[in-house]
Amino acid sequence: MGAKVVTHIERVDAATIAGLAQAGVATVHEAQGRTGLLASHMRPIYSGARIAGSAVTISAPPGDNWMIHVAIEQLKEGDILVLSPTSPCEDGYFGDLLATSAMARGCIGLVIDAGVRDVRDLTQMGFPVWSKTVFAQGTVKATLGSVNVPVVCAGVMVNPGDVIVADDDGVCIVPRETAVAVLEKAREREANEEAKRARLRAGELGLDIYNMRGRLAELGLRYE
Amino acid sequence: MGAKVVTHIERVDAATIAGLAQAGVATVHEAQGRTGLLASHMRPIYSGARIAGSAVTISAPPGDNWMIHVAIEQLKEGDILVLSPTSPCEDGYFGDLLATSAMARGCIGLVIDAGVRDVRDLTQMGFPVWSKTVFAQGTVKATLGSVNVPVVCAGVMVNPGDVIVADDDGVCIVPRETAVAVLEKAREREANEEAKRARLRAGELGLDIYNMRGRLAELGLRYE
Amino acid sequence: MGAKVVTHIERVDAATIAGLAQAGVATVHEAQGRTGLLASHMRPIYSGARIAGSAVTISAPPGDNWMIHVAIEQLKEGDILVLSPTSPCEDGYFGDLLATSAMARGCIGLVIDAGVRDVRDLTQMGFPVWSKTVFAQGTVKATLGSVNVPVVCAGVMVNPGDVIVADDDGVCIVPRETAVAVLEKAREREANEEAKRARLRAGELGLDIYNMRGRLAELGLRYE
Amino acid sequence: MGAKVVTHIERVDAATIAGLAQAGVATVHEAQGRTGLLASHMRPIYSGARIAGSAVTISAPPGDNWMIHVAIEQLKEGDILVLSPTSPCEDGYFGDLLATSAMARGCIGLVIDAGVRDVRDLTQMGFPVWSKTVFAQGTVKATLGSVNVPVVCAGVMVNPGDVIVADDDGVCIVPRETAVAVLEKAREREANEEAKRARLRAGELGLDIYNMRGRLAELGLRYE
Amino acid sequence: MGAKVVTHIERVDAATIAGLAQAGVATVHEAQGRTGLLASHMRPIYSGARIAGSAVTISAPPGDNWMIHVAIEQLKEGDILVLSPTSPCEDGYFGDLLATSAMARGCIGLVIDAGVRDVRDLTQMGFPVWSKTVFAQGTVKATLGSVNVPVVCAGVMVNPGDVIVADDDGVCIVPRETAVAVLEKAREREANEEAKRARLRAGELGLDIYNMRGRLAELGLRYE
Amino acid sequence: MGAKVVTHIERVDAATIAGLAQAGVATVHEAQGRTGLLASHMRPIYSGARIAGSAVTISAPPGDNWMIHVAIEQLKEGDILVLSPTSPCEDGYFGDLLATSAMARGCIGLVIDAGVRDVRDLTQMGFPVWSKTVFAQGTVKATLGSVNVPVVCAGVMVNPGDVIVADDDGVCIVPRETAVAVLEKAREREANEEAKRARLRAGELGLDIYNMRGRLAELGLRYE
């Protein structure tokens, strides 16, 4: 159970990842059976980012960001760092220097169930972060953690190489093994929604489109 | 105590509603004796919206958005949907499809003591939402609730047809019966404030404008 | 232990304050040994503000904003109001009228461990506020508090005349006595960081720049 | 909308109230259609109390307990005080002196969406309190509130004279008008549960007693 | 990804489970490298319970306790039910009837990241529960979930058959595969602690027993 | 600003401390002008403890309990340890071994704005703790902190040697310099309350005892 770094992880192909980014969090979450959503306290530091990438995971002690340096060496182009502290923490593990380093190694974003700082700089750099809070509190480099091991982040199991999808709605995890199938379902869902959107926009009611009136009456809904 | 839909509700006239929207949450709240304010966790998904409308209320089970479809049929031009779950819930009851449908029926916004999703789309559509959280978590359509019944939403009693005033400060409820009187008081308050604003801007002190020095001294305030 | 107003307080010179503003919260917090940071719930009402100023402190009863009027008389050009309620409170102590008055007396911002309202107006006026929440709830003027006494605000001791540094990362307090020394350290830190930023941007790793590999191995980090 | 005291309120008969106390919170809540339950943060200061009584309601400003003195004059034998602050507050509005006074006037408990203090004394006196928190913070007597007006307490509308049922599970409100009918349903429910309890105790499964297997299969539950 | 029930799960032998119960949460958590601890909001409904058992897991929709009936059929002597809702929920999924049924089938306790009710009855029955809250809110039986699938409960991955250790300190999960090894380490730890406890009780300092003074001085700790 | 241990601190005489313990938290808090109360999240691990003692303070990094060992060496008979983490933390810094050691050195309790574990053992040992939470999460010994420096604990400034008063109502800090005066006022308050308690018990109203009716009428309270 000691501290370790797994240097080789499997990743999903780039096209699938791009497709999941384009589908977005809500659609992907639905497409995989309403699973994979990180807790609602995970919010973006700025609006409008919409990304997907392979998870490089970090299990770090509270208030200790040493392992982020270790993780950055493991990054490949298009990866997303995912940090889960070993106990609840709000400290600012990550700021503009680490973002500079991570971006230089291909990283496109950070998901952290703790705090982040230098958010003005990160915004200007276009480096999106989904975090529990914004907090400038500094951290130490004293205790080991692990990189690329399974972690539970904000209530969801994340394995290294899983696809992270993140946008203004939050963050959703797609297990590596099912990513292709989930993308397919997401596309079906989108196609299906497009037709419904047009009918709803025209003023048709969901009650009619989805044939709900019968079941509502059967369950006893009364109109007064 | 069964599930029901009240199909006819009284509404306040459009001019009064427009006046209340223009007065805004803080002024309206003061004008009606510092009442009616929803809890501070009710935040807008984007800045700058400033609306008022008649409440079409929804009492929905946790994680079940079926009644929103039922409520949309009851909407009239300018209405605002108000959803209160029957127990605390963060799920994303509402997204872009429901917003498309609600807008097509005249709805101008949503107040929900739960979660909302597709916030990027909703922002682009210009459909404002005040919610407890942003969360993509999907919901089911399995259990009945009620539409246009009195609900307590974020700590405040809301009757169908009450006027909902919402802006960047939050959400305030104006009972239908007192809306005209409240608007009148709000306007008096605004007029009164305008004069004071000018004096304060010129550097005069509230201590003098409001004659506070005597009472402060009487209660024992010491200057050192 | 009665209510009082201290009319004369020492302030730090303007150049030091300007330097601290420019350094920003995260750097200043680090420069003074990772101290002085207000709790993470203190968030700005709009993004992009970046200020520093001398603290004029207010200890106020819950739901009673009378002492803000008293404090405004004590303001000098460039000051920042710091309000701590005597027990937890979310009420909207401060809005556009008080901001108009405070600005007319030279105030450049507010830090309040409670609520604020009229945030749309405050944003348009360019008056930045860091607060616990946005809440329109009105307050009374019935009970005394104190001005320019030491207060604990959001977990940090603030003495009148201390330098308040505030930006998108939050709020940091610099004790008056150490402000010059802290600024010097902040500048050293910035200079030091600039060199590292360039190396990191070029793809060099923190592991190498900071010589971490030896210590990591010594503590037992394994690569698999 | 000014401050007022309603001196005459209707109460439910003592036998019905006693019956509701005996049924307890969970059963009463179910019997009235899963309504009336105060938020889960309302916890008893000691275990084992199980009471019901008529609500004498108090709407009080944050940090101001003046109206409790006013309310105590309105108490009749068997009443329960219900206090809701006009904005969120944790202060200790109530302690052993007020409890002594309230008990002397027939009061059998307090439900308060704020703080309480002297809990050791209250426990020894056998005066049960359900509160949001235990907090010794003192309050003032400066601003008016109202007594025996409708209030929303911990998310539920309470009218004066409604029956308050409280035990280790929390607090449930039974509207005065429906108290007799709710008690009848509660008793039916208890009778019904007794039979089921015996079968369950004997090892029979709810799956069989309630005939659930068919519907589960129909919805697609798979056994592996 | 549909709803399912896994009917056969592997369990750890009874002696190992008994040993882990005896070691308790804090020791077991340390023995497995400071992992496995559920979030601190998981509190016992009464003090003094100290159990361990094999997890029968339940993934249930918010506000829907149907799957508990399904899970009870899968219980064996000494098992512990572990329920995780698919989104955050406080509802009272479980009360005295379900406890009667579960006990009749050998269940010795419940761990639920949601609410529980009838806590007075449960206490009298000696059926311990660790929950997020106590809340009488009723639930429906309308939507499927799964039994004996991996779940994340209060921040920790739980596989069916894992050992649940629970006492006044909270709840710790021991993976089935490592339970024997963890027990061995727990016993070593206890033996080791016993010797230290005696020395500490005699007034010797941890500073000396653990030889800390040198390292403290080396890192720069100053005595004034 | 480095880590340090102050080895000599001033303490208040034992008789004053004993008097403050006997007065209790609520009375002491009132006697010193409603100041000094730690936040309401500081709760005792068991009911009935009622202590006072001199503060030996600890400023510790999150998740690092090394400094507790250092602090124990500084304890004198009757002292109370007060630990404030440098950023928010719930970890279990303290358990039965440290309690054994602290008790052996004269310590009578712990106040910690973080977590505690082994609460069953601590209860049996009669070692009271007021903490933010109960959490078994283990901590490291890697980073320095300070002992006997001023700290802000749960919102209140604590200087080493200040008197800590703690009971079922929470924790109150009495500055060393004012302890004698505060005790005197506390006793006056108790004497004063005793007379009122008798009158209230006899059914007299606070409205009359405190002559409130006139002022209530003057402010406009209406009876209906």
| CB proximity under 8 Å: E 46-75 to B | 61-64
Confidence (pLDDT) at C1: 52
Please give the Cα distance from C63 to C57 (Å, whole number).
17
- Counting CB pairs under 8 A, whether chains B and F reach 3 or more, is no
CB contact at 8 A, C200 and C213: no
The shortest CB-CB distance from C1 to any of F1, F32, F88 is to F32
Cβ neighbours of F137 in A, within 8 Å: 86-87
Q: Could you give the residue ranges of the DSSP H alpha helices within chain C?
A: 14-23, 25-31, 66-72, 96-104, 119-125, 179-201, 206-209, 213-219
Cβ neighbours of C128 in A, within 8 Å: none
> Strand pairing of E43-44 and E129-134?
antiparallel
The length of chain F is 224
- C206:A72 CB<8 A: yes
Please give the Cα distance from C68 to C66 (Å, whole number).
5
Cβ neighbours of B32 in D, within 8 Å: 1
CB contact at 8 A, A45 and A81: no
Tell me the pLDDT of chain F averaged across its residues.
Answer: 97
Residue A41 three-state SS = coil
Of the residues C66, C129, C131, the best mutation for testing chain B's interface (the one with the most B CB atoms within 10 Å of its CB) is C66
Nearest to A168 by CA among B171, B129, B80: B129
Percent of chain B surpassing pLDDT 90: 99
- F100:E47 CB<8 A: no
Q: How far is D202 from chain E (nearest CA, A)?
A: 7
- D222:E2 CB<8 A: yes
- E141:D201 CB<8 A: no
Over residues A146-189, the pLDDT tens digits come to: 999 999 999 999 999 999 999 999 999 999 999 999 999 999 99
Q: How far is C143 from chain D (nearest CA, A)?
A: 7
- C87:D91 CB<8 A: yes
Percent of chain E surpassing pLDDT 90: 99
The shortest CB-CB distance from D89 to any of C62, C135, C140 is to C62
Residue of A nearest to E219 (CA): A142
* Tokens (6 digits) for D223: 């056994």
Over residues E167-191, the pLDDT tens digits come to: 999 999 999 999 999 999 999 999 9
CB contact at 8 A, C154 and C57: no
Cβ neighbours of A3 in C, within 8 Å: 219-222
End-to-end CA distance of chain D: give it in Å, rounded: 64
- Counting CB pairs under 8 A, whether chains F and E reach 3 or more, is yes
CB contact at 8 A, E9 and E56: yes
D neighbour chains, 3+ CB pairs within 8 Å: B, C, E, F
Residue of B nearest to A207 (CA): B69
Confidence (pLDDT) at F118: 98
Please give the Cα distance from A159 to A148 (Å, whole number).
7
Confidence (pLDDT) at E79: 98
Please give the Cα distance from A87 to E177 (Å, whole number).
24
Please give the Cα distance from D170 to E137 (Å, whole number).
10
Cβ neighbours of A137 in F, within 8 Å: 86-87
Confidence (pLDDT) at C5: 98
Please give the Cα distance from A112 to D29 (Å, whole number).
41
Q: What mean pLDDT do residues B162-188 have?
A: 98
Residue E37 three-state SS = strand
Residue B149 carries which DSSP code? S
- A87:F87 CB<8 A: no
The shortest CB-CB distance from C200 to any of A97, A118, A136 is to A97
Confidence (pLDDT) at C51: 98
Percent of chain A surpassing pLDDT 90: 99
Confidence (pLDDT) at B2: 85
Confidence (pLDDT) at F87: 97
Which residues partner with F133 through β-bridges?
F115
* Tokens (6 digits) for E178: 């490592």
Q: How far is E99 from chain A (nearest CA, A)?
A: 27
How many CB atoms sit inside 10 A of residue E48's CB? 10
Q: C157 pLDDT exceeds 80?
A: yes
* Tokens (6 digits) for B151: 């609900």
How many CB atoms sit inside 10 A of residue B2's CB? 10
Written as one letter, the residue type at C5 is: V
* Tokens (6 digits) for E46: 């009464």
Confidence (pLDDT) at D1: 52
Please give the Cα distance from A184 to A190 (Å, whole number).
10
Q: How far is A147 from chain F (nearest CA, A)?
A: 19
How many pairs of residues across E and F have Cβ atoms under 8 Å apart? 103
Please give the Cα distance from E151 to E57 (Å, whole number).
7
Query: Rg of chain B's alpha carbons, rounded to an integer?
Result: 20
User: Residues of chain D whose pLDDT is less than 70?
Assistant: 1
Q: B1 pLDDT exceeds 60?
A: no
Confidence (pLDDT) at E1: 52
Cβ neighbours of E47 in F, within 8 Å: 120, 123
Task: Extract the runs of DSSP E, i.e. beta strands, from E45-128.
Answer: 51-60, 79-85, 109-116
pLDDT confidence band for B108 (50 / 70 / 90): very high
Residue C2: CB partners within 8 Å, gap ≥ 6?
B220, B222, C144, F33
Query: Rg of chain F's alpha carbons, rounded to an integer?
Result: 20
Q: How far is CA F149 from CA C64, C167, E135, F145, F153, in A?
A: 33, 29, 43, 10, 12
The length of chain D is 224
* Tokens (6 digits) for E163: 């050992």
Please give the Cα distance from D49 to C191 (Å, whole number).
65
Please give the Cα distance from D109 to A91 (Å, whole number).
43
Q: How far is CA A51 from CA A72, A170, A191, F39, in A?
A: 19, 11, 21, 41
Q: How far is CA E185 from CA A38, E23, E35, in A?
A: 34, 10, 14
CB of D34 within 8 Å of a chain B CB? The answer is: yes
Q: F42 pLDDT exceeds 60?
A: yes
Greatest extent of chain D over all pairs of C-alpha atoms, in Å: 67
Angle (CA) F23-F28-F30 rounded to 5° is 130
CB of F115 within 8 Å of a chain E CB? The answer is: yes
Q: How far is F158 from chain A (nearest CA, A)?
A: 21
Tell me the pLDDT of chain E averaged across its residues.
Answer: 97
The shortest CB-CB distance from C33 to any of F1, F32, F33 is to F1
* Tokens (6 digits) for B125: 């559509």
Please give the Cα distance from A8 to A73 (Å, whole number).
12
How many pairs of residues across A and C have Cβ atoms under 8 Å apart? 104
- D2:F222 CB<8 A: yes
The shortest CB-CB distance from F168 to any of D70, D120, D144 is to D120
Over residues F110-139, the pLDDT tens digits come to: 999 999 999 999 999 999 999 999 999 999
Please give the Cα distance from C77 to D210 (Å, whole number).
75
| CB proximity under 8 Å: B 129-168 to A | 133-138, 141, 144
- D25:E133 CB<8 A: no
Q: How far is C144 from chain B (nearest CA, A)?
A: 7
CB contact at 8 A, E171 and E130: yes
Q: How far is CA A65 from CA A62, A113, C211, in A?
A: 8, 13, 15
* Tokens (6 digits) for A83: 């940090």
| DSSP per-residue codes, A165-214 | EEETTEEEEE-GGGHHHHHHHHHHHHHHHHHHHHHHHTT--HHHHTT-HH
Please give the Cα distance from A90 to E183 (Å, whole number).
33
| DSSP per-residue codes, D1-29 | ---EE--------HHHHHHHHHH-HHHHH
Of the residues B29, B185, B192, B200, the best mutation for testing chain C's interface (the one with the most C CB atoms within 10 Å of its CB) is B200
Residue of E nearest to A32 (CA): E1
pTM, rounded to two decimals: 0.97
ipTM of the complex: 0.96
- Residue F195: exposure state from Cβ atoms within 10 A (0-12, 13-18, ≥19): exposed
Confidence (pLDDT) at F2: 85
- B7:A223 CB<8 A: yes
Residue of B nearest to A192 (CA): B97
CB contact at 8 A, A80 and A148: no
CB contact at 8 A, A41 and A132: yes
- F202:D137 CB<8 A: no
Over residues C173-192, the pLDDT tens digits come to: 999 999 999 999 999 999 99
pLDDT confidence band for C2 (50 / 70 / 90): confident
Confidence (pLDDT) at E2: 86
Q: C123 pLDDT exceeds 80?
A: yes
Please give the Cα distance from F203 to E76 (Å, whole number).
59
Residue of B nearest to E60 (CA): B63
CB contact at 8 A, D96 and D172: no
- D223:E4 CB<8 A: yes
Q: How far is A168 from chain B (nearest CA, A)?
A: 6
Over residues A39-86, the pLDDT tens digits come to: 999 999 999 999 999 999 999 999 999 999 999 999 999 999 999 999
Residue E183 φ/ψ, nearest 5 degrees: -60, -40
Which residue's structure tokens are 């309350």? F193
Q: pLDDT: is B2 or E199 the higher one? A: E199
The shortest CB-CB distance from D140 to any of C61, C89, C137 is to C61
Q: How far is E116 from chain A (nearest CA, A)?
A: 21
Confidence (pLDDT) at D2: 86
Over residues B128-155, the pLDDT tens digits come to: 999 999 999 999 999 999 999 999 999 9
Q: How far is C142 from chain D (nearest CA, A)?
A: 6
Residue E218: CB partners within 8 Å, gap ≥ 6?
none
